Amino acid sequence: MRKVAAVSKQSDNKNADNGSEGKRTHSLLPIVFISAIRMWVREWRRFCVLAVIAMLGVAVMTGIYAGCNDMFLATNDMYAKLHAYDLQIVSTLGLTKDDVAALRALPSVSEVEAERSWKATAHATDDAKSSYAMNFVHYVESQKNLNRLHLLKGNMPKNNSEAVVTQRFLHDSGLSIGNVIVVNMQQNVGVGNLDSSNSKSKTYRLRITGSVLDSNDLNNPDGYQSKAFRNSVTSRYPIFTSAAPDNVTGLPYTAISVRLNDTQHVNVFSKDYRGIVDDASEQIQERVQSKREKARRNQIIDKQVNLELKNIIANDPRLQRAPNFVKEQAKKQIRKQIKSEIQKRVPQAQWHISTRIANDSYASLRSDVASIQSLGYAFPAVFLVVAMMMSLTAMARMVEEERGLIGTYLSLGYGRSTAVTRHAFFAIFACFVGGGIGDIMGFLAIPSLLLKILRGLYAVPDVRLKYDWLYGSLCVLAFVIPVAICTIVVSWRETKQVPAALLRPKAPKAGSRVLLERLPWIWKRMSFLNKVTVRNLARFKGRLCMTIGGVAGCTALIVCGLALNDTVATLGIRQYEGIYRYDMISISAPGSFQNMKKSVEQDKSNNKVETILPAYVGAGEIAKNQSNKSNSRHVEDAESVQLIVVKDTKALSHLV
């Protein structure tokens, strides 16, 4: 009976223990959670350190990207709002309505619009000595669908005696809205505009009613545009007015702007856009260009033949009195004779197809903003490395300080994941808090500062701050995931030990002789504290490397920022004192070059000029060819270049 009672009592005690263990399991879960909260509150300094480093990294990573992306999006919206061209065609013999119809028939083309412009000079009514090279553009706002203007100040012209100009012209000329300028427009009157000597001049008195933004020139003349990384100079100032010659409808077009179907919903700074434009350019070359070039040349030849034939008949009384059949035979003979002569005089028509990508303003903006955006990928990498090092150090110390508590949880039956989760959530929550604040700073504060700099370079209207949820979330995760992995690795490594080992204090690392101890003439002269410091550095090599890496990363960021500031500040000095050493460039048309040269040489004889160098200056593009074909137009990241041809290379070395 005793034995049975004893067994029954032992069974009751076991059931009681199981009941209490089951009750403990349910009651200790909130205790673990409460303990974790207390630990987070107690370690608020480490929490703030992790949050701050994550905040700085996310802010820099998102801020530079957001500012540049806002600039790109605003420029893209501006191009769409103004219906800027994707392709523009100019010809050496002018363009006609048949060319417009041929381009409009292409399946990839959405809109086609022809334009007329003339070279002109302008000066203020009270200052005839200071003249400016202008591009006289015939612009009727109600009839304009492509390449519209964005009004900055004033009003658009309402009649033929008013005009609008760009802010660059007002800045360089010193004129203002309301001033009257005298414009002398040169118009060729020969057939096909072939004979440049056969031209007439027409004078207009136009009142400036407003300043506009031309999508072909986004550089800001009122800012620090001269400090742009890749600056382009406009040789002629555009002036837009509805005034035009009397026979404007019969004159050939100077340019045809084309807008494509597939580009209307594509970002103009993307690779997809460049591919679409290049494909459309090749399509125009293959289907339209050669046919229309031949047709235009034949059209001009026929016009000149008919004009000369009419003059010959009008000036020959015998042909006028001759019978009709004799007159027709004479016409055929004369036509055949003069046609061969005219064919020799009329050159082949050449189309020049330019894309928006080749526009200097577009290329400069894209290159400058992309250069700034590239910094947004370098700086956060340093912050990320520093954050990982700090998390390794902080979590290792935190786990080491809580060895006894971790051993208690493990001895009570909790798994290793419970102990690891306490520290992992601590680091993850700190990174989420810091990353969230960094997102706010990155999409609001830093872009506002960066856009002030970009507005000083480019006059893009309506730039708005936009939040990119996907990119902002990925930037936060870019800090959360590495820090969480580092924390889990450190905690998991410590919890490998049995609970009994964790409950006991951790044995200190065994000391060993350091290198300096083998040099007695140095070691004996060191103080006690210095010896302890050297030995601790040798014992805790991991902490030493993390500290050095963190300090090195922060120092690198400071030095990099100061170096960038010093570099940008000296760009203008080095450009215009070390590279461009000349003081002035005098530009003229080929026919006026000799007169200009004589004038400059006269100034040199009067000791006003030290060195002169006649040169031919042309413009072009340089880019990496993306295919094996030499005539491929598929280019990536093209840069505008100047081609300078001189006879005296020694003199060039003193000027450039």
Dmax over CA atoms of the chain, in Å, equals 159
Alpha-carbon span 523 to 374, nearest angstrom: 49
Q: Which of 17-26, 495-504, 642-651 has the lowest mean pLDDT?
A: 17-26
Q: Which of 104-113, 341-350, 431-440 has the lowest mean pLDDT?
A: 341-350
Q: By C-alpha distance, which of 426, 483, 476 is closest to 56?
A: 476
Looking at residue 510, its pLDDT comes to 67
Percent of the chain with pLDDT over 90: 2
Looking at residue 7, its pLDDT comes to 39
Looking at residue 29, its pLDDT comes to 54
Looking at residue 194, its pLDDT comes to 52
List pLDDT tens digits, range 574-604.
777 777 777 777 777 676 778 888 888 887 7
- What sign has the CA pseudo-torsion 316, 320, 325, 327? positive
Q: Which of 76-85, 284-293, 627-636 has the lowest mean pLDDT?
A: 627-636
Q: Which of 397-401, 523-527, 562-566, 588-592 has the lowest mean pLDDT?
A: 588-592
Domain boundaries, the chain: 43-75+362-504, 117-249, 590-627+634-655
Alpha-carbon span 258 to 214, nearest angstrom: 17
List pLDDT tens digits, range 177-186.
888 888 888 7
Looking at residue 142, its pLDDT comes to 83
Per-residue pLDDT, averaged over 155-181, amounts to 87
Q: What is the DSSP string of 190-240?
A: SGGG--TTSEEEEEEEEEEEEEEE-TT--B-TTTTGGG-TT----SSEEEE
Q: Which of 85-99, 141-155, 631-645 has the lowest mean pLDDT?
A: 631-645
Strand arrangement of the beta sheet that strand 87-91 belongs to: 109-115, 255-260, 87-91, 351-355
Which residue is listed with tokens 């450190």?
490
Per-residue pLDDT, averaged over 465-483, amounts to 87
Which tokens is 404 given? 């006894």
- pLDDT higher than 80, residue 63: yes
- pLDDT higher than 50, residue 6: no
- Banded pLDDT at 437 (limits 50, 70, 90): very high
Which tokens is 237 given? 């100032």
H-only helix segments in 123-183: 167-173
DSSP type of residue 587: -
Question: Is pTM beyond 0.85 here?
Answer: no
Question: Nearest-5° angle of CA 93, CA 99, CA 100?
Answer: 130
List pLDDT tens digits, range 478-516.
888 888 888 888 888 877 777 787 788 777 766 677 888
Whole-number CA gyration radius for the chain: 39
Say what angle helices 2-42 and 44-82 make with each other, to 10 degrees: 60
- pLDDT higher than 70, residue 320: no
Alpha-carbon span 277 to 288, nearest angstrom: 16
Q: What average pLDDT does the structure give for the chain?
A: 78
95 close to 257: Cβ distance less than 8 angstroms = no
Alpha-carbon span 435 to 477, nearest angstrom: 8
- pLDDT higher than 70, residue 12: no
- pLDDT higher than 70, residue 637: no
- Banded pLDDT at 296 (limits 50, 70, 90): confident
